[in-house]
């Protein structure tokens, strides 16, 4: 089902190429979430939430992603990518509506639960895998994935601006409008890539238990297990950055909120350059397995060197190296997983990957915060040990694939 023929055929039937629509869809989606995510802690404090309840808002979103990403991925294999993308965007819109209308912490919590039930990225990457052949897939996934990095940069900036004119409700309203625009774009312009055969019969015979069995069957593959281990280790380690970077930059260099905002915008720019420009060129001559290994190695170097000396130059160099490594791995691991999967299982496999990444983001910040309280270098060495494990898993994949 995958290959350049399908891409050319679908592009010929629509004015806007499908990959362009997916890029725009993820761009608008990430801008929408970028509008409200930085405001959620402040919104929760308005309702008297404690730090524990703030953590609950983060954890419940990741937990819902953990359960729903593989299930929706499998559903997209059965009933089509387009239908599940529409479902996800609809739930995103509902979550933003509840966010905007919230008058209690419980409503805010419900909005995060519903937001976690929307899992656009795994399905979107499965859609890309449907359209592309193995030679062009890494480049396509990278370019579409770059949309999220643009959103990381633009969303918080736009959210901060509109929040001046309507505290909390106007960013929420803007996110609703963007999501409705996204729904219309997908509904009217995005073609289906899954060949639907006896869809109604398949749906009638499918149960949650059958989906779980399908997921378990996919995960049994040793190569898939190794790749998912890398996803977990890298996700766990990188999730610590939003906690550690602000603390470290303040304690060591005396840099406040504005500087930290610049750091994260800088990371987003690096992500865009790697995913939109460089990964496509690199993947023409380098296999995914080697890109993954190189990315993990760079991340390891950056994590271990950052706390060595109190130098802003070393700090920024380490941030750069870590960011380059992480973004190389993010694209290549997604492409690698799709290439090791049957086309009819793209959705469930990439959904499981998104699920593993989501669950890794729960303990990562918590353990990093606890380690930082013990000693400033501690979270770097905790993350480094996980990245070292990922390096071993990556080397094992290369040996097994040889």
| pLDDT-wise least confident of 7-21, 56-70, 100-114, 142-156 | 7-21
131, 19 contact by CB (below 8 A): yes
User: What CATH number labels 210-402?
Assistant: 1.20.1250.20
Reference 302, options 350, 372, 245, 365; nearest CA is 245
In the structure, what pLDDT confidence band is assigned to residue 8 with cuts at 50, 70 and 90? Answer: very low
CA distance 94 to 297: 41
User: Which CATH topology does 1-192 take?
Assistant: Growth Hormone; Chain: A; (1.20.1250)
Average pLDDT over residues 260-282: 87
CA distance 290 to 217: 27
Average pLDDT over residues 329-335: 94
302, 321 contact by CB (below 8 A): yes
Calculate the average pLDDT of the chain. Answer: 86
Average pLDDT over residues 93-117: 95
What SS3 class is residue 329? helix
Report how far apart, in Å, the C-alpha atoms of 306 and of each of 45, 241, 247, 249, 375 are.
33, 12, 13, 11, 14
The CB-side HSE value for 188 (13 A sphere, CA atoms) comes to 7
CA distance 87 to 72: 9
Does residue 12 carry a pLDDT above 50?
no
- Residues 6 or more apart from 128 whose CB is under 8 A from it? 19, 22, 137, 140, 141, 144
- Residues 6 or more apart from 132 whose CB is under 8 A from it? 2, 3, 4, 7, 140
| Domain residue ranges in the chain | 1-192, 210-402
CA distance 263 to 227: 29
pLDDT score at 210 = 66
Question: Could you read off the pLDDT of 333-343 as tens digits, one per residue?
Answer: 999 999 998 88
Q: What is the DSSP string of 99-122?
A: HHH--SHHHHHHHHHHHHT--HHH
Residue 267 vs residue 100, higher pLDDT = 100
Q: Retrieve residue 311's tokens.
A: 């130098």
- Asked if 1-192 and 210-402 have one fold, the answer is yes
pTM: 0.84
Q: Retrieve residue 132's tokens.
A: 């592309």
pLDDT score at 211 = 63
CA distance 114 to 102: 14
pLDDT score at 198 = 47
The CB-side HSE value for 389 (13 A sphere, CA atoms) comes to 17
Question: Could you read off the pLDDT of 197-248 as tens digits, one per residue?
Answer: 544 445 555 566 666 777 777 778 899 999 999 999 999 888 887 778 888 8
Residue 51 vs residue 367, higher pLDDT = 367
The Cα angle at residue 372 between residues 317 and 353, in degrees rounded to 5: 70
Question: Could you read off the pLDDT of 371-398 as tens digits, one per residue?
Answer: 888 888 999 999 999 999 999 999 999 9
CA distance 21 to 189: 8
What SS3 class is residue 14? coil
Does residue 5 carry a pLDDT above 60?
no
Q: Retrieve residue 90's tokens.
A: 């609809």
Length of the chain: 402
Reference 284, options 133, 129, 139; nearest CA is 139
């Amino acid at each position: 089902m995958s290959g350049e023929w399908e891409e050319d055929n679908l592009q010929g039937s629509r004015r806007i190429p499908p990959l362009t629509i997916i890029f725009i869809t993820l761009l608008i989606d990430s801008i929408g979430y970028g509008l409200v995510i930085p405001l959620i802690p402040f919104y929760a404090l308005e309702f008297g939430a404690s730090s524990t309840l703030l953590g609950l808002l983060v954890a419940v979103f990741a937990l819902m992603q953990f359960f729903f990403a593989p299930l929706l991925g499998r559903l997209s294999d059965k009933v089509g990518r387009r239908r599940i993308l529409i479902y996800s965007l609809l739930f995103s819109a509902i979550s933003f509506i509840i966010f905007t209308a919230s008058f209690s912490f419980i409503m805010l919590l419900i909005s995060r639960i519903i937001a976690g039930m929307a899992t656009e990225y795994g399905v979107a990457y499965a859609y890309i895998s449907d359209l592309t052949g193995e030679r062009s897939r890494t480049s396509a996934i990278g370019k579409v994935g770059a949309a999220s990095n643009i959103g990381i940069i633009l969303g918080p900036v736009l959210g901060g601006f509109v929040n001046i004119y309507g505290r909390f409700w106007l960013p929420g309203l803007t996110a609703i409008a963007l999501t409705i625009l996204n729904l219309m774009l997908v509904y009217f312009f995005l073609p289906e890539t899954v060949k639907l055969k006896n869809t109604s019969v398949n749906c009638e015979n499918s149960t949650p238990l059958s989906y779980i069995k399908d997921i378990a069957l996919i995960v049994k593959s040793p190569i898939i297990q190794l790749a998912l281990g890398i996803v977990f280790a890298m996700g766990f380690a990188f999730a610590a950055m939003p906690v550690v970077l602000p603390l470290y930059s303040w304690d060591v260099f005396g840099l406040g909120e504005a500087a930290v905002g610049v750091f994260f915008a800088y990371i987003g720019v690096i992500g865009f350059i790697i995913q939109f420009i460089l990964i496509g060129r690199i993947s023409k001559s380098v296999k995914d397995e080697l890109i993954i290994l190189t990315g993990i190695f760079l991340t390891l170097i950056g994590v271990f060197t950052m706390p060595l000396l109190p130098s802003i130059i070393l700090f920024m160099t380490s941030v750069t190296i870590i960011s380059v490594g992480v973004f190389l791995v993010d694209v290549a691991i997604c492409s690698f997983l799709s290439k090791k999967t049957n086309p009819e299982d793209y959705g469930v496999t990439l959904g499981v990957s998104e699920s593993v990444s989501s669950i890794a983001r729960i303990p990562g910040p918590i353990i990093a915060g606890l380690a930082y309280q013990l000693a400033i270098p501690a979270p770097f060495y905790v993350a480094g040990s996980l990245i070292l494990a990922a390096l071993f898993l990556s080397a094992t994949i290369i040996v097994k694939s040889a």
